[in-house]
Chain A
């Protein structure tokens, strides 16, 4: 049955060769080409079913024992609903075994390992659902490590549908005579649930971009695509996500929780969930529903619908990242009823921020990016974040964070220099300058060079946009037309590039391009408190050389005035967060206390984004600049609190054993300084400075403590 001549072991990973013996290589040979294997299998099955079974048996025998026992225990853990074990198997064991045995080949096919499961006391249904889950892992592995072929793409879709169908439409097992669907009794770790949704959308996106490349398809693939137009259709993907959201009633759950928050004797999240529906009561469905909302955000962005993407976040939006509200910091009470995974935060903020960028709401975009970049920097510092021992996952997060940083760099340039929003977080800005300094320099200069830099960063950092519809594979004539089309010939006069990424890029560049003269204009205004429009136009060199020509001069002046209106227009923006005291306190954004947040993600009010304001009085421009006074109080508060922490730490530490003689007198001055510090607020800086020397003497033995307590 195997054809050793066709397959050479050279294809195999060298590391693998150490660990694996001839048995495994037998499996690897089969696994490498499932298409041929399937064909072969199908033929044999028709002729001699027995042979197929023997084949499976042989393949099973080839599976390493470690893997076999892993599968059996994994199945057992899921049967026992043993969440800690499932989590370990999922996040640690599976990736480890993958690295060891399957870094270049597929895991054993579900049909092969199926016999291992029947030895358990599991019912047929339970075995079936384990195989569906196993297949989910199997295909995810194919997508991430190998090259999925058309069969993999179709089958992974079918498997996902089967999984979601099981979750959504399983008949109630309690009383068999009702056809009403009931929640299934399954426990899976949050990370896995996130991966299920995330991977579902990822595979959809990969399929769409693969599908849109008509020319590279083989005859067989064309035929299968013509038959399978429903596979990975946008409607089916949206249907899954909306169904999960509706089934779990996640939005209703959140609304109810919000109502509960302010009340006396509020019910717990569990109680609230139970009162909504039997599905909502289960963490599995709540989590899936919540992740589906986030998934929907992503799907809408991929399809280019940025408003709808933000709209689906209406309810859940303010609870992400411990209630950071995308930089708004409105809801400090952390919301433990919803799962928090680093991957979720980073991906969601990335998509929300991108939407804001495409809506030209740069202040909101910047806030969103700053929140998540701070988060990811913290995460990088603790590299071994629990659950992220897996390098591939960590890399994925790091990559998204890097693309977010690129988007931040773009928005930083788009809010115009001198805007308070460029100073929102100096730490992130300097990180961005380190990473994208060259592009940021070019973007802030304006002109065509700036556009090239914007294009470069956009193409690197943008989501992988997709077309909602398949090319007309079911229409042979149309496909023939597409196949015969000359690739070098540009689409006839079409202003909209057919590739969705190009389309969004053009729109973005048109917006960014309209701003490109503004940095220069602003730098001139910066120097004056008033000047005439005529003078401005002469600075801008719009009149070229022929200044004697009256008409040209006037034209140049008109041009300058129109550009001023663009500047005005671009120094205002919709923002979700507005200064609480109204417009008089522009530029006060840095202090969170004076801000109010407006409703849902789509809402907002016009604010000024610039510290340079101007107005044209007939032909004279008046300019006023807002400056930020030095901030003392924040510094003092921060340091007072820090000194207090140090003091508390010192107080909490055990007293050291003294060997030499230390006079009680020495302790006294330290005591005074510390005691004074805990009372004084304004003199805290002084206190903080005194702290350093007193630290060493504060260990003044038992006497110190008694004096302090007194």
Chain B
């Protein structure tokens, strides 16, 4: 999974060269990377390193700074939880001079605490609380201005949920799963669960999750295994006349 994080299969060669080469520092390339971000937003792709390259350019060239891009990057990074992507992005947001020349007031200072809060809820697996916060009136502007544009944002959060549930449960109550996934209507949940290949029990109250390496537990007694190379010294000594 890490390989696809370092270099997603959807990344083009042009972007690869920018991300891996010295050209990533060239301010005139910021447009290409920003376009790529909007492409990710439209087509449900995700490329953390390319997005970090944008933030890096902003870090060095404060005149390039575009708060909408930053917010979008952070929104995309939310879906990567529990990987540290969100924190990595925040790490690159340097101090900004107070009178940065922007046409409109900078929305980032107001949105950052909100995004921080959402990320914290996700990282701590407080999924129902996340959905409550996300659907609250205070976050209307975030929804209307940003996440609505981000194709499959809610599904990307659901994937975070699925990752956590899949590794923790063998069976989970249908109501609970619905709450975590924010899928209230039985039909929606049914469709989603079917898509995952998970199964309901006959009463429809419990969902079974197929076995995977993380939800199979076994009390293992680890025995040492001695490999031949460890014995070479001893054997060669023994062979000596």
Contacts and interface: CB of A to CB of B under 8 A. Distances in A.
A587 B88 CA distance: 29
Contacts of B97: 469, 471-472, 475, 478
B125 A562 contact: yes
Given A242-B22, A493-B109, A568 B164 contact: yes
A339 to B, nearest CB: 24
B138 to A, nearest CB: 14
A641 interface: yes
Nearest to A563: B125
A468 B84 CA distance: 22
Nearest to B81: A569
B238 A678 contact: yes
Interface string A573-596: 010000000011111100101100
Contacts of B199: none
Contacts of B56: 305, 308
B84 A358 contact: yes
Interface string B154-186: 000000000011011111110010000000000
A577 B224 CA distance: 18
A469 B90 contact: no
A640 B230 CA distance: 12
Interface string A335-378: 00000000000000000000000111000000000000000000
Contact of B233 (A496, A627, A641): A641
Contacts, number: 222
B91 A305 contact: yes
Interface residues of B, number: 74
B225 A583 contact: no
A60 interface: no
A681 interface: yes
A604 B2 contact: yes
Contact of B231 (A495, A617, A637): A637
A510 B125 contact: no
Contacts of A563: 125
B206 interface: yes
Interface in B127-174: 127-128, 164-165, 167-173
Contact of B221 (A481, A495, A569, A629): A629
Contact of A235 (B25, B94, B223): B25
A83 to B, nearest CB: 32
Contact of B216 (A615, A631, A641): A615
B195 interface: no
Given A360-B84, A678-B238, A618 B172 contact: yes
Interface stretch (A133-141, A268-276, A497-505): A497-505
Given A235-B25, A504-B91, A633 B220 contact: no
B2 A593 contact: no
Interface string B85-113: 00110111111011100000000011011
Contacts of A583: 213
Interface in B193-225: 206, 213-225
B220 A626 contact: yes
B171 A617 contact: yes
A546 interface: no
Given A565-B164, A591-B225, A631-B224, A306 B171 contact: no
Contacts of A608: 214
Contact of A307 (B49, B93, B127, B171): B49
Contacts of B2: 574, 598, 602-605
Contacts of B17: none
A526 B30 CA distance: 52
A532 interface: no
Interface stretch (B8-16, B32-40, B116-124): B116-124
Contacts of B60: 234-235, 468-469
Contact of A632 (B22, B220, B224): B224
Most central of A238, A566, A625, A631 by chain B CB within 10 Å: A566
A681 B238 contact: yes
Contacts of B126: 562
A126 interface: no
A619 B173 CA distance: 8
Nearest to A561: B176
A585 to B, nearest CB: 7
A492 B110 CA distance: 10
Given A358-B84, A618-B173, A681-B235, A569 B125 contact: yes
A478 B168 contact: no
Contacts of A631: 224
A511 interface: yes
A496 B99 contact: no
B88 A603 contact: no
A359 B49 CA distance: 13
Contacts of B91: 304-306, 358, 503-504, 507
A468 B222 contact: no
A420 B197 CA distance: 34
A613 B217 contact: yes
Contact of B227 (A304, A472, A593): A593
Interface in A551-567: 558, 561-566
B185 to A, nearest CB: 21
A496 B167 contact: no
Contacts of B168: 564-565, 568, 615-616
Given A585-B222, A593-B227, A566 B124 contact: yes
B43 interface: no
A307 B222 contact: no
A497 to B, nearest CB: 9
Contacts of B49: 307, 311
A-B pairs, 10 with minimum CB distance? A565-B125, A304-B91, A593-B227, A624-B217, A624-B219, A495-B113, A626-B220, A613-B217, A498-B95, A565-B164
Given A496-B93, A588-B222, A641-B234, 8 more contacts: A358-B84, A467-B95, A475-B99, A507-B91, A510-B87, A511-B87, A615-B169, A634-B230
Interface of B: 1-3, 6, 20, 22, 25, 48-49, 52, 56, 59-60, 62, 82, 84, 87-88, 90-95, 97-99, 109-110, 112-113, 116, 120, 123-128, 164-165, 167-173, 176, 206, 213-227, 229-231, 233-235, 237-238, 240
27 contacts: A235-B25, A235-B60, A303-B92, A307-B88, A311-B20, A358-B87, A478-B99, A495-B112, A507-B90, A510-B120, A562-B124, A562-B126, A562-B127, A574-B2, A594-B227, A603-B3, A605-B1, A616-B170, A617-B171, A623-B217, A624-B218, A627-B219, A627-B221, A633-B226, A678-B238, A679-B238, A681-B231
